[in-house]
Structure 1
């Protein structure tokens, strides 16, 4: 067996951390001298130590690592924990990518003098349609995406019910919110199906005189289309009369476990197309 210092050098883990793992019960020494209190480690502790290191690098807390190392934890349970952490890391990466995209868009906007010139606003009527909807106070934009996935999964249980039309979100808050967003997601239907536990089936009302503008690119830069719409409404003497809709003409959808109509799917955020629809009337 090896003294703690020798085991530290060969395992590439500091003595301080080895003592810390011992105190937490994560990695007990093979033997402790009752007189000197020296810790001794054997090579058969390396697999357990390597699992601890791997789980720490994945971002697990020491408490979670302790649970993962319990003898009654199956390989399937450990694999489930790893997959959950994988999804969490992907979500964090996506959030950082969105921050970067917003920063780049702000820089381009400040450098550019064209502003809203790349957006054309038109006024048209929007027809009514049947849709499966889900409304809640969503904690953030990621939750809204999850709401869409839940509705799509529900609709997929009814063969042929999904219409080949783009889904959309209706925002009900009287002001912009980044959290606790009162939003309703809608998935178009060919025909009415039964209500689900959280999913409501209803005919979405049409809109007479909707100001519409199309944004191309990542959702992180869609605020530019909102700015263009605001400027157009003000300069043309209109006012808003209802909730704004975001219609996803081209959008991304991965790993849902079922197929969506391919007409409106895009492989890359650069290919996303989003239309804003806002009810208006002359002042």
Structure 2
């Protein structure tokens, strides 16, 4: 047997931590001298201690670790706990990635302050088109991507022919970074849609997306997480040129790749010439 100081050196765990594990019943010494109170440990306890450290590294609370180690949970329940932890960690990583993207966007904005705008904004007419669409409240940008993938896969499985890049239409009155009311509209060949509405259980509808006589547009090369600066550039141009926003924003993913910096996104706002900026604040705030 080893004194707590020796066991601490062997296990690379502090004596303070070992004492705490003893207090909560997570790892008790094999013997305690009733006269001196000295704790003694066995080398046979190292595997349990290593499991404790491994589970702690995965993000489990000590109370959960006690449950995992002492209650002899069936493998199905243990897998369930691990999958829940996996989902929790994935959400945390996504949240941090989005926060990092916002930091990068803010840095870009600071660097560009006072410089000549680097975005070319043009007005164009957008024709009406037949689209297969689906609308949903999504928690954040990551879930929007997942939602789009589900709809595109469903269309592909049902052999619906896509004729152009998918659009995202944002139906919220103002900007939201969570719980977004978003519609994905995929231009399709109307002769190929068949009974996709029934096959999708009503998730997908086929409709004509109205055309727009005057659409203010900007094409942005870069991560879809860093769209703040181009949105602001487009808003500044709309106001400076005495236009009013008349409908929801559309974005088109012109190019996607694993390398986010190579993404190409077109941002569109339907506008009309007006001296009033009241609608601008409604749709762009």
TM-score normalized by the length of structure 2: 0.78
1:98-137 counterparts in 2 under 5 A? 98-110=101-113, 112-115=114-117, 117-136=118-137
Partner of residue 55, structure 1: 55
The structure-2 alpha-carbon separation of the partners of 1:5 and 1:204, relative to structure 1 and needing over 3 Å to count, comes to farther
1:123-162 counterparts in 2 under 5 A? 123-136=124-137, 138-156=138-156, 158-161=157-160
CA contact under 8 A between 1:148 and 1:186: conserved in structure 2? no
Secondary structure of 1:274's aligned partner: strand
Tell me the CA shift for residue 250 of structure 1. Answer: 1.3
CA-to-partner distance for each residue in 1:54-93, whole Å, 9 max, x for gaps?
2323333323433443533539827646754663454245
Secondary structure of 1:220's aligned partner: coil
The structure-2 alpha-carbon separation of the partners of 1:57 and 1:103, relative to structure 1 and needing over 3 Å to count, comes to farther
Tell me the CA shift for residue 25 of structure 1. Answer: 3.3
Tell me the CA shift for residue 180 of structure 1. Answer: 3.0
Flag structure 2 segments of 5+ consecutive residues without an equivalent: 275-285
Q: Aligned Cα RMSD in Å? A: 2.9
Partner of residue 250, structure 1: 255
CA contact under 8 A between 1:244 and 1:276: conserved in structure 2? yes
Partner of residue 268, structure 2: 277
1:194 matched to 2:193? The reply is no
Secondary structure of 1:234's aligned partner: helix
Partner of residue 181, structure 1: 180
Tell me the CA shift for residue 214 of structure 1. Answer: 0.9
For these two proteins, the number of residue pairs brought into alignment is: 265
The structure-2 alpha-carbon separation of the partners of 1:119 and 1:66, relative to structure 1 and needing over 3 Å to count, comes to farther
CA contact under 8 A between 1:124 and 1:211: conserved in structure 2? no
1:268 matched to 2:268? The reply is no
Secondary structure of 2:220's aligned partner: strand
Flag structure 1 segments of 5+ consecutive residues without an equivalent: 252-265
1:241 matched to 2:246? The reply is yes
CA contact under 8 A between 1:217 and 1:271: conserved in structure 2? yes
CA contact under 8 A between 1:171 and 1:245: conserved in structure 2? yes
Higher-Rg member (1/2): 2
